């Protein structure tokens, strides 16, 4: 089986294995997302355009094909608009790299630029009330190790307003509990590192957790702070794992308080901390640094959310209906070999 356009696959390999990790210093999650996008695009070409993998080339990626691919994602695979837009950004980034290595590919980059980002409906930030937060954090059974771990993880995630992957990437050496101001060193989006202060009370919880779950004499500084054990080996916990137990605790909390959302997810802890800090008077520019936002305009969602909440409260007090904001194997075949050789797997 002969590859029709070797330059196409060589560009993919360079993009995924050199450009993103070594030149852009992209995070493993970003590289994984971009790899998934290119795999999905090739899958679309094969299934819908009847173009076998080994025959795929730049010529197959005109703007109409890219638009059809994005529609396929949204209509057939039931992806949301934000996911659709993320996939488009990955494709545009790939074509940008293609021009860097070969200027003759500029026409293909222009094809990708013709595809617009799809507008999304405004969506109110989901967060918990302070009573709801306390109830959620009280759900784990701290008499057993798993419950204690879960409670400390959720408490730290809230206090430092961490993304799920950020807290799972933390290692023992990233926790500074003896400093004048206890803090954690976080690697955020865009490989941007930041120091996040934590309250003394939360620092005490983390200190007791480390004493119980990490033995200093074994040289645990490079160990993941939160982990799972599989086949007697400590492994980094997954976001799916965290999502499952937070959803479970949210469900049990909702049975006691109907103010708890029907489905609680990890990011709500981050949102809750952010909006609490905003209401307490933290300027948006400082909040942006605290949250690790690369684009400070992203932080505006908390000001918007707070305004909408106040507006709804006023309307409710007047007996009016509140405005509803819309929601927005091994190598078994030649094609498998092509994917592995060019960094797609």
Q: 142-179, pLDDT tens digit by residue?
A: 999 999 999 999 999 999 999 999 999 999 999 999 87
Kindly state whether residues 62 and 190 are assigned to the same domain. no
CATH number at residue 240: 1.10.443.10
Residues 291 and 336 placed together within one structural domain of the fold: no
Q: Do 140 and 26 have their domain in common?
A: no
Residue at token pair 């120091």: 195
> Is residue 97 in a domain?
yes
104 and 189 belong to one structural domain: no
pLDDT for the residue 330:
35
Torsion from C-alpha of 80, 266, 176, 146, nearest 10 degrees: -140
Regarding whether 139 and 247 lie in a shared domain, the answer is yes
In a domain, 325, yes or no: no
Angle at 82 between CA 325 and CA 91, to 5 degrees: 160
Q: Assess whether 269 and 163 both reside in one domain.
A: yes
Report if residue 264 sits inside a domain: yes
Please answer whether residues 301 and 307 qualify as being in contact, where contact means their C-beta atoms are separated by less than 8 angstroms: no
**Predicted structure pTM score:** 0.68
Q: Which helix (H) or strand (E) holds 161?
A: none
Question: What is the model's pLDDT at position 111?
Answer: 84
pLDDT of residue 232: 85
Residues 143 and 72 in one domain: no
Coil/strand/helix, residue 121: coil
Burial 146-172 (b: 16+ CB within 10 A, else e): eebbbbbbbbbbbbbbbbbbbbbbbeb
- The pLDDT tens digits for 248-292 are 999 999 999 888 999 999 999 999 999 999 988 898 889 999 999
- What ranges make up the beta strands (E) of 14-159? none
Instruction: Say yes or no: 111 and 148 in one domain.
Output: no
- Do residues 29 and 69 lie in contact, with contact meaning Cβ atoms separated by under 8 Å? no
Q: Are residues 210 and 291 in the same domain?
A: yes
Strand order in the sheet with 193-197: 175-176, 183-187, 193-197
Domain range spanning residue 270?
130-317
Give the span between the Cα atoms of 191 and 27, in whole angstroms: 6
Length of the chain equals 345
Domain membership flag for residue 310: yes
- Within a domain: 193: yes
Both 209 and 275 in one domain: the answer is yes
Distance in angstroms between the alpha carbons of the first and the last residue of the chain: 19
Q: Are residues 40 and 150 in the same domain?
A: no
Upper half-sphere CA count for residue 160 (Cβ side, 13 Å): 31
Let me know if residue 323 belongs to a domain. Answer: no
The answer on 113 and 61 residing in a single domain is: yes
125 inside domain: no
Q: How many domains does the chain have?
A: 2
Residues of the chain with pLDDT under 50: 321-333
As given in the structure block, the two tokens for residue 172 are 């023992």
Task: Establish if 272 belongs to a structural domain.
Answer: yes
């Amino acid at each position: 089986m002969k590859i029709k356009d070797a330059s196409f696959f060589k560009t993919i390999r360079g993009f995924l294995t050199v450009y993103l990790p070594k030149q852009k210093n992209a995070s493993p999650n970003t590289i994984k997302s971009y790899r998934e996008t290119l795999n999905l695009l090739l899958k679309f070409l094969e299934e819908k355009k009847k173009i076998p993998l080994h025959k795929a080339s730049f010529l197959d990626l005109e703007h109409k094909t890219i638009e059809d691919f994005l529609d396929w994602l949204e209509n057939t695979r039931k992806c949301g608009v934000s996911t659709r837009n993320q996939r488009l950004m990955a494709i545009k980034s790939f074509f940008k790299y293609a021009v860097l290595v070969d200027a003759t590919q500029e026409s293909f980059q222009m094809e990708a630029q013709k595809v617009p980002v799809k507008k999304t409906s405004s969506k109110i930030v989901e967060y918990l009330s302070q009573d709801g937060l306390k109830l959620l954090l009280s759900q784990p059974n701290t008499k057993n190790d798993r419950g204690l771990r879960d409670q400390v993880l959720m408490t730290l995630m809230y206090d430092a307003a961490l993304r799920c992957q950020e807290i799972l990437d933390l290692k023992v050496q990233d926790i500074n509990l003896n400093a004048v101001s206890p803090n954690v060193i976080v690697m955020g989006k865009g490989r941007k590192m930041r120091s996040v202060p934590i309250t003394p009370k939360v620092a005490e919880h983390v200190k007791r957790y480390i004493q119980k779950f990490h033995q200093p004499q074994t040289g645990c500084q490079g160990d993941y702070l939160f982990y799972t054990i599989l086949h007697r080996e400590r492994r980094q916990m997954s976001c799916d794992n965290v999502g499952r137990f937070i959803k479970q605790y949210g469900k049990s909390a909702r049975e006691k308080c109907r103010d708890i959302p029907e489905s609680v997810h990890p990011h709500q802890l981050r949102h809750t901390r952010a909006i609490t800090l905003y209401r307490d008077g933290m300027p948006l520019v400082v909040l942006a640094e605290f949250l690790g936002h690369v684009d400070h305009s992203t932080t505006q969602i908390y000001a918007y959310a707070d305004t909408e909440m106040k507006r709804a409260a006023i309307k409710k007090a007047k007996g009016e209906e509140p405005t509803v904001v819309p929601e927005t194997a091994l190598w078994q075949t030649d094609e498998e070999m092509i994917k592995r050789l060019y960094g797609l797997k």
